[in-house]
Structure 1
């Protein structure tokens, strides 16, 4: 670690520095000390039908009850405890109680399938898990043999309240657990370098890996990210992404705690529109899909009116020019100066009001952000910035700032982080917040981290003027048999711009041309089939494929000739997490999809030469 990297990044006296906190438990205690009656968290009470505020003092009292309960379970420092809950104050309370007890937290995705969560419970060797419901417990029962180390289950929402032994597994109602506690023990004297959490990667190829992150790694990364957009006492973060996601954990949980900010927990994606208006957040994190849906909703709102569509286009265009001028890259022009006040009032203001009307930072991460989406939302004055990171780096590597925002790039490396390109163009990262390694996997650790501490990200990238431009995943690059290389993500992004195509996987490695597996949007497909006189139940009929391939071709007009899709297989059933085809972060498991549809893929390449489209 360089001397520069060890220096505090944030010099705002209102932000708790990593060095001052020492550990995650230390950060929590310092925040409680500084603003005991401040609002720490806000959640929705479905019974009362309103939002409830929780002060730092009140959260600290509940954390103490969790600490006392953990002490009764005879766990030892270094033992793993797992959390399988939706976001909320109980997630926070067990997390902090575990850190105060010297335990290692293992976070699981509540919307992941039971088989995946069972694997993580077993691989991590967790001894205790907190579940959200008895239904969740029942879903794990068939996989009991995969997590033999687990001894205790605390279940939050369960009918029976008594302890229930099941195959040497003690199941207890969380309310009973917390009711029968005494004074909490003295906190465990953890060191900043101690292992704090196992954060499992999403596993797009193969089993997820357990990334070992120390207290220091997550604190340093949160502090470095806070230098880009410092948290404030009066900030309200709306938490949408699951806390099992490293991005949400560091930037949406520990970073707000550093500033004594409030975090409000969204109820669900379905309720997000109402939650935005009720909570009126000043900051929120999201994956690109979230902003894509918002963009689609804005466009759908004006779809029925030609005049409104034109006004939206003009507003976004002039707003984008104003944004570029504010970034010192262009002049806004006379039209923007004359007409923007009117367009802002009638077009942009209602959009911003739908986000609550107070957002000062909307952050996108986890995957590349579609540039049409970025231009629309930024053009309508949404303060949208993009960043880049990896779980192995705890996780933020680079980010755009509000005053230094270059859409299309993922920004500049955080202060103290080094980046460079390998001879093959792979992005390499060296950071003070680097992982300790992969849990129980020294071989994979050695492959990912070289002896000098450089992490192989697996991403192709370009470095321009100090900014990072990510171009695709190294392992996902397609090398055609004609020698050309294709980034499938770029082709898939163009395909799914069309509302008819919901999901796509492009295929062609060591083949003469590209083909694609495409999931059709049910409603759009029925309308398209009716308009073309096609059978909606037979998307792969020759006539249907001819029409759909004709729809595909113009979408790829900007792609090179060798990157054109020459044949398609159409699918009516969406790829889901439950089916094992998506990761918990909604990334397509490319290898699994291609294996499932291997016969269909081979058929696309087995057409008679006279009927097969030429690659050129």
Structure 2
């Protein structure tokens, strides 16, 4: 049952004033809004936009965001990682399907951009030769990508779910900054965020002014500050539990690194503990798998099981294009996901993404789905976060089928939804 969160005007105002000051949001800025206004992040930033006197444009729909970016030419946009993942996948897909010459130019430019970005982040002096190469890379490659965002973006902000480090680094290298942050509805919502002058990929930034962070013995993040809620509406027991010891218990696991940046490892309730006693953070693995242009959505499973499995929704736009090119015959998506060629393709993409992971962190079996998860069915939130419990309950029989013959598991055995 959802809990009502009691947030005061003071809770919101503390976040609004802090964020407006940190990001220098002013009346000169034009912003594009597309997240639901019922979501606490978009609600707070909307207050911030109004407080600063910005010009606000509302996207016609999530599907229209790409076109609206070009039309509105915003300076700022707050988004969820899925949007950046799609942009990244589209860019890489276009490059990999281009001519050999264009591929060489792109990857040369990207290497230059990464070198330039690394020195910039470290505050190191940038050699004149590297500056010149960066200007050439911008003209030949980066400017064309930036134009697709309207060409005036000062920065993006990402929240609501973890942003893959590789994707953040990619955008920064081409000249688009994504500041990833962290917070909850109960904290109105920002607790920590990367910001101008304090950016570290793979982290959610340093705690914002007036917010205190400490950690429980199990690594759970505890917070205290002027933005923390009064409590849960008519739920005194849950409120007492959330504020045990005088600090708000976030339910997230993480740590502060040597530079004071907060790193989130996973939701406490989402941590998978295999039957062998290994703790696995599923979101980190899911982010790796979603870097494949053939994978749209993935949910990693395996709590109290011998190995990890996953439900995978292919990127059907990409997969169906490949099927036409290769002459694969099928009449509907259910048939396509059962084709050996599809299974082999997704298997190879997963194997590639899992390179470097420990054996117990690798996905051993998957089920392919012929449809994406839906908000209306309660499988994902309005900000596209996966509702794991709902998905596990809805696909219980399919998931159980992945573990029926555990003693003879092969990494080649990847059943689809229709073969359960």
Q: TM-score, normalised by structure 1?
A: 0.62
- Alignment of structure 1 residues 140-539 onto 2, 5 Å: 207-251=1-45, 253-302=46-95, 303-328=97-122, 330=124, 332=126, 336-452=130-246, 454-464=247-257, 465-526=259-320, 531=326, 537=335, 539=337
Aligned partners of 1:515 and 1:565 also within 8 Å: yes
Q: Does 1:590 align with 2:384?
A: no
- How many residues are aligned here? 406
CA contact (8 A) 1:318 1:332 kept: no
- Counterparts of 1:559-574 in structure 2, within 5 Å, are 559-574=357-372
In 1, distance between residues paired with 2:94 and 2:352?
25
Measure, in 2, the Cα distance between the counterparts of 1:496 and 1:313.
21
Distance, in Å, in 2 between the alignment partners of 1:433 and 1:487 is 28
How big is the shift at 1:556?
Answer: 0.6
1:466 is paired with a residue whose SS is coil
Shift of 1:323: 2.5
Relative to structure 1, is the Cα distance of residues 606 and 538 closer, same or farther in structure 2, using a 3 angstrom cutoff? farther
How far the C-alpha of 1:262 sits from its partner, in A, is 1.8
Moved more, 540-549 or 387-396: 540-549
Q: For the residues of structure 2 that align with 1:268 and 1:228, how far apart are their CA atoms?
A: 29
SS at structure 2 position matched to 1:366 = coil
- Alpha carbons of structure 1 residues 312 and 208: separation in structure 2 relative to 1, 3 Å: farther
2:172–2:178 contact (8 Å) kept in structure 1: yes
Q: Does the residue aligned with 1:228 lie in a helix, a strand or coil?
A: helix
Measured in 2, the distance between the counterparts of 1:233 and 1:326 equals 28
CA shift, 1:330, in A, is 4.7
Alignment check: 8 A CA contact 1:325 1:332 kept: yes
Question: Residues 363 and 386 of structure 1 are in contact (CA less than 8 Å); yes or no, is this contact kept in structure 2?
Answer: yes
Partner of 1:428: helix, strand, or coil?
strand
Change over 3 Å in CA distance of 1:534–1:374 after alignment to 2: same
- Structure 1 gaps of 5+ residues are 1-206
Query: What's the secondary structure of 1:605's corresponding residue?
Result: coil
Q: Specify the structure having the higher radius of gyration (Cα).
A: 1
1:580 maps onto 2:373 in alignment: no
Residues 538 and 291 of structure 1, relative CA distance in 2, 3 Å threshold: closer
1:542, CA displacement in angstroms? 7.4
Q: Which residue of 2 aligns with 1:151?
A: none
Matched, 1:600 2:398: yes
Equivalent-residue separation in structure 1 for 2:31 and 2:310 (angstroms): 39
Equivalent-residue separation in structure 1 for 2:384 and 2:237 (angstroms): 27
| Structure 2 unmatched runs, 5+ | 413-420
TM-score (normalised: structure 2): 0.89
Partners in 2 of 1:270 and 1:543 — Cα distance? 30
Query: CA contact under 8 A between 1:315 and 1:379: conserved in structure 2?
Result: no
RMSD, aligned CA: 2.4
- Checking the alignment, whether the CA contact within 8 Å between 1:316 and 1:375 is kept in structure 2 is no
